[in-house]
Structure 1
Amino acid sequence: MSAYKRVQQWSTFGRMWYLYDAKWQNPLHSANKIKHYLTGTHKPIYHPLSDCGDHVVVINARDIALPGNEWEKRVYFHHTGYPGGATWTLAWELHQKDPTMIIRKAVYNQLDKNLLRRGRMEKLHLFADDQIPESILQNVSSQLTQLRPTPTRLDHYTEEERLQFPKVFDWPKEHVIR
C-alpha cells in the first residue's frame, strides 16, 4: 500500500474533531447538523450499525436563540422513575439551570433510537462559553459553518461604517441622532 493510500485510509477511518459555534443559532436546527457528524453520515464508509462518527465541540451554548416565544412555550419533560416523579420544565428555566442542556436534549432526540446513541453522545462536548480546556482544544482540526450568520451589535460598528450605511429616508439634519 502506498503512503498516499495509507493517509487516505487514516483520514477516512480516523475520528476528526469539529468545532461548532452555537451563538445565535437555533438549537433544534443545529442538532440536525451536529447529528450528521456524530453519526458519521458525512463519511463514505458510513454504515448504520457501526460507530464511525466524529467528535463535535460546541461552544457558546449560553447564547443560543430560540425563535418566537419558544422560551416561554417549549416544555421539557423528565421523569425520575418513581411514582409522581414527572416534572415539566420551561425552556428558559432549563437554560437558566444548565445552559448546555437544551442543545444536549436536542441532539439526543435527533440521534437514532438504538444502542449506539449513548456512545455517540459521549463524543459531543458542550461548553456554555468559549473557554475550552487545552486538552480538548488541541484535538480540534476543523470548524463547522454556522447555519445563520451571527448579527453584529450596533455598538460594534465604527462611526465611519454608520455614516456609510445606506439611508432608507433622507431625514432633515436637525432630526439626525449622533
Structure 2
Amino acid sequence: MTTLKRVQQWATFARIWHVFDASWQNPFDSAQLLKKYLLGLYKPIYHPMNDCGDHVIVINCSDVALPGEEWKKRVYFHHTGYPGGASWTLAHELHKKDPVLILKKAVYNSMDGNLQRRYTMERLHLFPDANVPAKLMGNVSNQIRQIRPIPKRLDHYTQKEIEEYPKLIDYPKDYILR
C-alpha cells in the first residue's frame, strides 16, 4: 500500500470533532441531526455493525427551546430499580436541576434500537454554556449548522435600525399611548 493510500485510509476512518450551538433549538429536532454525526450515518463507510461515528460538542444546552407548552406538560420518567422508586419530573424542573439533561435524553432516545448507543453517547460532549475546555476545542474541525435561525432580541437592535424599519402608521407628535 502506498503512503498516499494509507493516509487516505486513515482519514476515512478518523473520528472528526464537530461543534453544535443548541441555543434556541428544539432538542428533539437537534437530536435527529446529532444522531447522524454520532453514528457516522453521513459517511460512505457506514455500516450498522461498524463503529465509525464522530465526536460532537454541544454548547449552550441551557438555552434550548421546547415548542408550545412542552416545558409545563412534558414529563420525564426515572426509576431507581427499587420498589417504589418511580418518579416523574416535569421538563422545567429537570432543566433547572441539570441544563444538559433534556438534550442528552433526546439524543439517547433518538438512537432507539441501536445496541451501541451507550458507547455512542460517550462521544457526545454537552455544555450548558459556551465555556468549553481548550483541550476539547483544539480538536474541533467542523461546525454543524443550526436547524433554526436564532431570532434577534429587541434590545439588540440599534436605534438606526429601529428608525429605518418600515412603519404602518406614524403617530402624531402629541399622541399619548395608554
TM range, smaller chain: over 0.9
Q: Displacement of 1:8 after TM fit?
A: 3.5
Residue of structure 2 equivalent to 1:142? 142
- The one-letter code sitting in structure 2 at the alignment partner of 1:154 is L
Q: Deviations over 1:48-88 (max 9, x none)?
A: 11110000000000000001110000000000011110000
Q: Determine the C-alpha separation between the residues in 2 that align with 1:134 and 1:128.
A: 16
Residue of structure 2 equivalent to 1:43? 43
Q: Determine the C-alpha separation between the residues in 1 that align with 2:146 and 2:174.
A: 41
- The one-letter code sitting in structure 2 at the alignment partner of 1:136 is L
Q: Percent identity?
A: 61
Q: Secondary structure at the match of 2:96?
A: helix
Residue of structure 1 equivalent to 2:129? 129
Q: Displacement of 1:119 after TM fit?
A: 1.1
User: Which stretches in structure 2 are left out of the alignment for 5+ residues?
Assistant: none
User: Which stretches in structure 1 are left out of the alignment for 5+ residues?
Assistant: none
Q: TM-score, normalised by structure 2?
A: 0.93
Q: TM-score, normalised by structure 1?
A: 0.93
Q: Secondary structure at the match of 2:56?
A: strand
CA RMSD across the alignment: 1.7
Task: Flag the 1:61–1:175 CA change in 2: closer, same or farther, 3 A.
Answer: farther
Q: Deviations over 1:143-162 (max 9, x none)?
A: 00000001111111111111
Task: Flag the 1:12–1:90 CA change in 2: closer, same or farther, 3 A.
Answer: same
Task: Flag the 1:165–1:115 CA change in 2: closer, same or farther, 3 A.
Answer: same
Count of aligned residue pairs for this structure pair: 177
Residue of structure 2 equivalent to 1:118? 118
Q: Following superposition of structure 1 onto structure 2, how do residues 53-64 of structure 1 map, counting pairs within 5 Å?
A: 53-64=53-64
Residue of structure 2 equivalent to 1:105? 105
Larger CA deviation: 2-11 vs 137-146: 2-11
